[in-house]
Structure 1
């Protein structure tokens, strides 16, 4: 069975405090977007196999998810999973978490487990912080370490241009270098902007505290800041890093403007393979 799985961007992200378990409490608006990976799932007699470029099977969150479910529910069947990547890795787009969520759904379906939505969410919470969001896969306010999800109703359509630098960023490393909160982060106004269908309010106040976490590497920080500026220079209303990076996006009035911006940036020397035109979905 062949399926598509989309990723997300964070429109506004505020880090609240560090928890006793080592994670950080945060609050962010998670926006599902149209950039996706394609996955194929096929039943096997027993063994679980995951094939994708650049990631060892045992370290792949998709393999770990399928193996966990197989052992947890004593499943006597296996699964062969092939992942065709379009979503960049180490980008702050949640591609791995998204594919883990799809794996939960497909294992449930193909192995005939009859798990409820709540049971799938509980599995997702054990796999990773962003996985529960992708089981739902709708616009949401996400808080805690990612396990608290509140539906966010909005008629706003987000049009964005994503730029992935040549380097990635490790989530743990970014968080480990985050030493101060920003009291000026107005995430509440971003949320209000979505509720009021007010794009100006959203873009005026969107801010990502995790950008401070890359200050340990001045060269990478300089690249992130330059990309943000370049996006605004070609017409973005505002720009931001998504999640823990390294992907940066600019929000535009419409898809025509984002496509025009992409053409200009290619002429300026940006690689076509690192540029992604997306819109919000769901």
Structure 2
């Protein structure tokens, strides 16, 4: 049996870090939403009891470092599944970009294997398993738009933001999330107004959303990689309604409502940044089949 599963990327409309925890993680409060930029996974059941990862992207590991591999291994062990699976990952989401590509692949693997192996697990049960793999996996199991707290695994769903275009630009660098958090001084940064963002989304207030975007990690990533800040400035100059770095970077996104402005920003950025995408905001939850 063969199954195709979509794994959409996410952006952070607001990202605040409250404190460092005793377990080494940070307590966060952030608003995440899915966008129409997605990897595609093909899951094929194998008679042999093994997990196989196939990808033509040289940056995607094909062993236990891959989060989709970890998801398959965890669900196999947890539910005593004696069959194997081949997971072909067709990457569209840039790797190590702050867009949760690896986490979304893991979440898609959980959703897909739940169906392939007829496990009958609820989204909540899958999200709980996902939290053991990585902080963003729980959100990616659900998709949609949500407030994420704790280390990112506690999810509270909110309505989708108003429809708009999202233009993403990723410079040719990788950013270590661990390094960014290590260099963050949570007591000495300007914290975004997460409550105002929630209120604006719930009211469908596009202008309020644009004026409330904020990411406490920007300052740290900008100091480590000035080219990320340069992309943000260019995107503003080209006329995006709001511009923000997603996650720990290095991807920067801008949001606009009008097609003509989207094309202008997209074409302007293509001049000096190789990886540029223009996609719609999704914001709606995944449905378990």
TM-score, normalised by the number of residues in structure 2: 0.91
Find the residue that maps to 1:58 and give its secondary structure: coil
Aligned to 1:258: 262
Residue of structure 1 in register with 2:277 after alignment:
276
- Runs of at least 4 residues off by over 6 Å: none
1:237 matched residue in structure 2: 241
When residues 96 and 156 of structure 1 are mapped into structure 2, their CA distance, relative to the original with a 3 A threshold, is: same
- What stretches of structure 1 of length at least 5 have no aligned partner? none
Is contact 1:49-1:79 (8 Å) kept? yes
- Which one of 62, 80, 95 corresponds to residue 68 of structure 2? 62
CA RMSD for the aligned pairs? 1.5
Q: Which residue of 1 aligns with 2:50?
A: 47
Tell me if the contact between 1:61 and 1:100 (Cα under 8 Å) persists in the aligned partners. yes
- Structure 2 unaligned regions, length at least 5: 285-289
1:131-153 Cα distance to aligned partner (Å, 9 max, x none): 11111111111111112111112
Number of residue pairs matched by the alignment: 276
What is the aligned partner in structure 2 of residue 185 from structure 1? Answer: 192
> Is the Cα contact below 8 Å between 1:160 and 1:255 reproduced in 2?
no
Corresponding residue for residue 132 of structure 1: 138
Alpha-carbon distance in 2 for matches of 1:194, 1:216: 30
CA distance in 2, matches of 1:184, 1:76: 48
How far off is 1:259 after superposition? 1.9
Alignment of 1:92 onto 2:94: no
Quickly say closer, same or farther: Cα 1:184–1:5, change in 2 above 3 A: closer
Deviation at 1:250, TM superposition (A): 0.9
Task: Tell me by how many angstroms 1:74 deviates.
Answer: 1.3
In the other structure, the counterpart of 1:23 is 25
Tell me how far apart the structure 2 counterparts of residues 248 and 75 of structure 1 sit (CA, whole Å). Answer: 41
Q: Distance in 2 between matches of 1:87 and 1:244?
A: 15
> Do the aligned partners of 2:16 and 2:191 also contact (CA within 8 Å) in 1?
no
